[in-house]
């Protein structure tokens, strides 16, 4: 490679590692594996070494990645929180030890001992104590400046707020989420069809860097302390001695620390940690080799980014081949149908893998997966098993193409994939897999508004078999409800009253409660106003629906799909029998005042006499509509106190701006 090619490649690599470091450190959303990122860094480091004229202090090989997130106070670390030099072979570890021993001879140091520890896969943090009390905690950030996350760190049960000794000390540790806790978190997110965390490290980092510590408190964070950054009034000779003292103080210290006298013992320790890594309750991404003698460390010194007295050995990701025996589909709580690979059981990184998610239809096509294929499995972040490749050269011709189902595998209702989406969804409102979520939405405030029927009560009713579908809400008996709570008579009466009251709701609330895709409260009101009763809406054609302002073809198609389902018609019949109103009430029908018809309002700022919802309801009552953005199509901007950029834009476009008093005059 000549100089021009080297320069071009170095610039390209720097851009790549900057991009992926931002995704990893700042956004906690990595797009490539740790190993792939490490390999980019190795190539960059080697090229910079080969062509020193292109070295730069701004390169990530010379500085720590990570920035302070907006919203956090900055903390300048009195002692920098440095990174570690990564090595990827035992030969590189031996080279490190040789350099240490050579330096020891130069300084007439007879023996050098080491400590080998697990490199915990988490987020580095510094804890500062004054007189034994926790006063501040911060993330590593870029090593010199981090984020003040004191309140978030205080939510971690294993961090002592008061030490056993009244001492001034700053320690460094790694915040992490244990393997089992991580799997439970992702399992719950998958059930709720939320985006899965890529790995335990990023889940921990994202949890610690929340602006609201209440969110952090709900996450199962833990910490292991592994270093004394600074201490007043005490002196240590060795790192091993420091760790013991930290443990005595009450800290949760890194449990894997192996004292080594020579390179053979170091290699054995690395091998031992590698063999035991799957037995550990926490994730690791390597083993750290440290010089034990603290005074010798001072002689060895540091670079701008890394200490010269330690290296991190990175274990290569383990990959195995196995057979894709079948692909089955699971239905989540919101109706998303997810394909799952059934595998010939294979042991990867210490765990037996027999199935893994295939995410969606596009993933299967992208990988060109067929039932019967020989596939390559690895664990993403050493936790989540994934298919990374297909061995197409091993195909026999007996492999079978897989197609996503056209009907829900649980209830048989139509399964649809809408334009612009990767997910295929079940459309059945009575699908058992979706029932909990459908019930929660049906009774919610914006829908049927059944006060007292929260998620916990709904789950209890389902667990006890007291309800099996939405209509069963209206057959609940007083005694059944009272049995859910100790001394539950008053609660039961209130809930029965609320259920009975919901039968008289306006039609738009029932339409909203159905949870039709793309149909919210605003569209439900339009439909109720247009068709007057549910039977007319059921009979409405696609063409008629498409012609309604703010409905359009996508929403019209969704409405037609919903009302042609047998499950929908069955539910409606049950609701009618229960006495639930399915028509516009006479009071609502009497309102023929459409003074705002064809007019679009945008609300901004704080109103004195109305909430946003109340003002929106008034506008819609008179035939108008609201929008969240100001454009040339906006007719009025209703501006309250502390109105911001929307008001400025309205003024620049010459749009009529209403005060609250002017608005009240318009609706009198």
Distance in angstroms (rounded) separating the CA atoms of residues 111 and 100: 11
Distance in angstroms (rounded) separating the CA atoms of residues 376 and 19: 28
**Neighbouring residues of 300: CB distance < 8 A, sequence distance ≥ 6:** 100, 103, 291, 307, 308, 309
**Strand, coil or helix: 388:** strand
What secondary structure letter does DSSP report for 302? B
Phi-psi region of 51 (alpha: psi -120 to 50; beta: other; left: phi over 0): beta
Cα four-point dihedral sign 191, 195, 200, 204: negative
Task: Please check whether residue 224 is in contact with residue 127, taking contact to mean a CB–CB distance below 8 angstroms.
Answer: no
Closest CA to 242 of 259, 227, 225, 221: 227
Distance in angstroms (rounded) separating the CA atoms of residues 395 and 323: 11
CA–CA distances in Å: residue 567 to residues 99, 155, 545 = 74, 46, 21
Is 314 part of the annotated catalytic residue set? no
* Selected catalytic residue, list 69, 108, 119, 464: 119
- Residue 649 tokens read as 């834009």
SS (H, E, C) 96-111: HHHHHHHHHHHCCCCC
What DSSP element (H or E) covers 457?
helix 455-463
Task: Report the Cα 550 to chain-centroid distance in Å.
Answer: 32
Distance in angstroms (rounded) separating the CA atoms of residues 284 and 274: 10
Angle value at C-alpha 295, between 289 and 301, nearest 5 degrees: 65
**Neighbouring residues of 659: CB distance < 8 A, sequence distance ≥ 6:** 639
**Neighbouring residues of 612: CB distance < 8 A, sequence distance ≥ 6:** 603
**Neighbouring residues of 276: CB distance < 8 A, sequence distance ≥ 6:** none
Angle value at C-alpha 390, between 389 and 392, nearest 5 degrees: 145
Catalytic positions, written as ranges: 119
């Amino acid at each position: 490679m000549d100089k021009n090619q080297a320069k071009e490649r170095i610039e390209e690599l720097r851009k790549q590692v900057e991009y992926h470091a931002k995704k990893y450190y700042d956004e906690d959303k990595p797009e490539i594996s740790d190993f792939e990122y490490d390999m980019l860094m190795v190539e960059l480091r080697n090229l910079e070494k080969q062509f020193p004229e292109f070295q730069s202090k701004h390169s990530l090989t010379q500085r720590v990645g990570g920035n302070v997130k907006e919203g956090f106070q900055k903390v300048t670390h009195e002692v920098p929180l440095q990174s570690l030099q990564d090595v990827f072979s035992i030969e590189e570890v031996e080279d490190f030890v040789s350099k240490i021993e050579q330096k020891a001879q130069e300084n007439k140091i007879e023996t050098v001992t080491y400590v080998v520890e697990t490199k915990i896969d988490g987020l580095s943090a510094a804890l500062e104590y004054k007189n034994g009390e926790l006063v501040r905690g911060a993330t590593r950030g870029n090593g010199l400046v981090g984020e003040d996350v004191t309140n978030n760190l205080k939510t971690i049960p294993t961090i002592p707020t008061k030490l056993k000794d009244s001492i001034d000390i700053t320690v460094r540790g790694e915040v992490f989420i244990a393997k089992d806790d991580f799997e439970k978190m992702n399992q719950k997110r998958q059930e709720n069809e939320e985006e899965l965390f890529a790995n335990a490290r990023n889940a921990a980092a994202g949890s610690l860097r929340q602006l609201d510590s209440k969110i952090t408190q709900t996450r199962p964070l833990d910490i292991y302390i592994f270093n004394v950054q600074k201490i007043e009034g005490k002196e240590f000779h060795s790192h091993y001695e420091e760790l013991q003292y930290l443990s005595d103080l009450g800290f949760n210290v890194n449990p894997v620390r192996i004292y080594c006298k020579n390179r053979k013992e170091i290699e054995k320790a690395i091998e031992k940690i590698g063999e035991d890594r799957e037995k550990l309750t926490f994730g690791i991404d390597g083993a750290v080799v440290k010089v034990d003698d603290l005074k010798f460390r001072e002689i060895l010194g540091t670079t701008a980014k890394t200490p010269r007295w330690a290296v991190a050995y990175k274990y290569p990701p383990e990959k195995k081949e196995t057979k894709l025996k079948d692909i089955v589909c699971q239905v989540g709580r919101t109706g998303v149908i997810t394909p799952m690979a059934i595998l010939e059981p294979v042991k990867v990184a210490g765990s037996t893998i027999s199935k893994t998610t295939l995410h969606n239809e596009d993933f299967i096509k992208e990988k060109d997966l067929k039932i019967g294929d020989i596939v390559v499995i690895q664990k993403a972040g050493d936790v989540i098993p994934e298919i990374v490749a297909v061995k197409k050269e091993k195909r026999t011709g007996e492999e079978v193409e897989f197609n996503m189902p056209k009907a829900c595998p649980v209830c048989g209702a139509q399964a649809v994939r809408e334009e612009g989406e990767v997910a295929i969804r079940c459309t059945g409102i009575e699908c058992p897999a979706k029932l909990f979520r459908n019930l929660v939405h049906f009774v919610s405030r914006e829908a049927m508004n059944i006060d007292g029927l929260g998620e916990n009560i709904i789950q209890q009713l389902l667990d006890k078999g007291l309800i099996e579908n939405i209509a069963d809400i209206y057959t609940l008996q007083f005694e059944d409800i009272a049995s859910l709570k100790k001394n539950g008579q008053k609660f039961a009466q209130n809930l029965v009253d609320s259920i009975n009251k919901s039968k008289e709701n306006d039609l738009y609330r029932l339409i909203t409660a159905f949870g039709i895709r793309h149909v919210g409260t605003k569209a439900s009101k339009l439909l109720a106003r247009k068709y007057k009763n549910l039977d007319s809406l059921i009979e409405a054609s696609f063409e008629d629906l498409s012609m309604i302002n703010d409905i359009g073809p996508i929403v019209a198609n969704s409405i037609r799909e919903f009302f042609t389902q047998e499950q929908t018609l069955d539910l409606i019949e049950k609701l009618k029998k229960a006495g639930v109103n399915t028509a516009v009430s006479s009071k609502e029908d009497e309102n023929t005042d459409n003074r705002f018809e064809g007019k679009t309002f945008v609300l901004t700022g704080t109103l004195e006499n109305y909430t946003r919802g109340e003002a929106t309801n008034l506008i819609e009552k008179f035939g108008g509509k609201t929008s969240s953005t100001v454009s040339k199509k906006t007719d009025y901007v209703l501006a309250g106190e502390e109105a911001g950029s929307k008001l400025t834009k309205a003024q620049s476009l010459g749009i009529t701006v209403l005060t609250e008093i002017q608005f009240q005059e318009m609706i009198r």
